[in-house]
Amino acid sequence: MLHKPYGCLSQFRSEFKGERNKQFLGALHDFPPGTMAIGRLDEASEGLLLLTTDGALSAQVRSPGVEKEYYAQVDGLVTDEALAQLQAGFALRAADGAAYHTAPCQARRLTTAPPFAPRTRKIRDERHGPTSWLAIVLTEGKFRQVRKMTAAVGLPTLRLVRVRVGGVWLGDLAPGEAREVAAFAGCGG
């Protein structure tokens, strides 16, 4: 397990010229040959990223039904109406432009900000209005889904941290830190 820091890509290398100066996972640690990320977090997202050399396990963890929990700091105050909309699911567009309907999910307000280390790049100034935190638990994972969902209910995501995949929690792992886990509890491994 790895705490992917803000600004790092969820891959080990890239052949694209525009990504030559980006930070990749391989720069964080000396991982075994054949290591791959199970799923992805976009460059601006942080948190728990599971790594493996087992392709079958990777497919199993990415399959529908395995819970992924995210904490999102959003622009504005989370309302009961926004929570109900998030929980019910709604129509969004996939990366390829195709329409899809999100599965119902769990969503709740966090009454206090999680104790994450400050992000390396400032999010914004308080004079731009209030922010709040919510937890979202998905059993699917489309491209930038949490960001699209919060924006659709009028609460654009300012900071997004994945805190759990199945039964594996991020816990107190610091950004950029990795720890070996015996099994991916709740993920079939």
Dist. CA 75–CA 6, nearest whole Å: 18
Element (H, E) at 164: strand 157-165
pLDDT at res. 189: 46
pLDDT at res. 55: 86
Alpha helices of 71-186 — where are they, by DSSP H? Answer: 80-88, 145-152
Dist. CA 48–CA 162, nearest whole Å: 5
- One-letter amino acid at 186 equals G
Active-site residue, 96 included:
no
Mean pLDDT, consecutive 10-residue segments, the chain of 189 residues? 91 67 81 88 94 87 90 96 94 84 94 89 78 95 89 96 95 93 63
| Closest CA relative to residue 174, chosen from 132, 122, 115, 133 | 115
pLDDT at res. 19: 62
pLDDT at res. 25: 85
Annotated active-site residue in 42, 54, 80, 172: 42
Dist. CA 91–CA 66, nearest whole Å: 21
Q: What is the DSSP letter of 93?
A: E
By residue count, the chain amounts to: 189
